Amino acid sequence: MLDDKNLLEQRDPAGALAVAAAECDQAEFDVDVWNGDNDHRPIVNVVVAGMGGSALAAIVVKAWLKERLMIPFEVLRSYDVPAYIGENTLFIASSYSGNTEEVLSALEQAELKGAQIGIIASGGQLIDTAASYRIAHVALPADLQPRMAVIYNLRALVGLLVNFDIVGREQLDVIQMNAAWLRDESTRWGADVPTDRNYAKQLALEAVGKTPVFYGGALTAPVAYKWKISWNENAKNVSFWNEYSEFNHNEFLGWTSHPVEKPFAIFDLVSSFEHPQILKRFEISDRLLSGMRPKSTVINLAGDSVIAQLLWGSILADFASIYVAILNNVDPTPVRLIEKLKQELA
């Protein structure tokens, strides 16, 4: 079925597969920080406000640059900001649409507290605010689903961190250096590559009709979260995620009770750069849970650096979940129920 070109075009009318194939190009996004004047006030912490796919880049940065971030870095997914935010906080409001109400609420509070502000959006109220009050911001290319603009968002976030002297510009260069390799890898998952040679299609066939659970380690937790998002929004398929070693302190036991036959598909997202004990936990946990849950499918993230592996896994998530959408006979692009929820909240 996944090798039927006509069927793929029929069930993917907005071209989600083509969007996924172009995600590698986002690694070369030329970041322009508008109104980027930096008064060089001492910054003692960074808070990035965002929801869903717009928060994901910040979660990636926190895992990827944990050894380079010399100050606390928090990802805020709420209407309200913590009390410690003040004039020495770098507060970054991230919303692809520019209209996410939680982010707008948090931004208003951060401004009242005198925080240093940065903004990432493709339009909407956030870009209007940035232009009106000359706030440092990065304007993202428009007309994508936020979950498929993660690398754009990552480049923009790192660009703002560079602007405010939180990290060095070489981190932007590291992302860009992976663009050509990611392009080559993405061609392996395209619609014209048959299933017997297409890893993304194989993963989709393994997961279709089931509820997938994605597990990551300390480094790969952002990718596990990305796979959950992609499955929810592309495939319109419920899914869950967790990370090691927290998994072993609670959820581990949740698999041991009946019924033995459970309609799940288990995926372990593994990095060669992960802590050795985390790697052991993946293997030992799967062995100890034999017969109590489906055996895990290990996805070894490719790439010669942490960021290369995180980007590789993020793009593969979209390809695989779009193929599941096609198998589920749903359009992978729109998120109509989310839009309806926003309208009713308004």
By annotation, the residues acting in catalysis are 233, 249, 342
Cα 45 to Cα 186: distance, rounded to the nearest angstrom = 36
Q: Which two tokens stand for residue 101?
A: 């109400």
3-state secondary structure (DSSP) of residue 279: helix
Stated length of the chain: 346
**Hunting for tokens 């996924």 — which residue is that?**
20
The burial of 8, by beta-carbon neighbours within 10 Å (0-12 exposed, 13-18 middle, 19 or more buried), is given as: middle
Structure tokens at 236: 């319109």
Q: Name residue 75's beta-bridge partners.
A: 48
φ/ψ (deg, to 5) at 284: -70, -40
Structure tokens at 10: 């029929």
Tokens matching residue 125: 């109220």
Q: Rounded to an integer, what distance in angstroms lies between the CA atom of residue 241 and that of residue 282?
A: 14
Q: Determine the 3-state secondary structure of 208 from DSSP.
A: coil
CB 125 within 8 A of CB 104: yes
Rounded distance between C-alpha atoms, residue 117 and residue 136, angstroms: 7
Q: Are the beta carbons of 119 and 93 closer than 8 angstroms?
A: yes
DSSP state, residue 88: T
Structure tokens that stand for 88 in this block: 């020495």
52 φ/ψ sector (left φ>0, alpha ψ -120 to 50, else beta): left
Please say whether the beta carbons of 96 and 150 come within 8 A.
no
Asked whether 155 and 26 are in contact (CB, 8 A), the reply is yes
Please name the residue that has the structure tokens 């994901």.
56
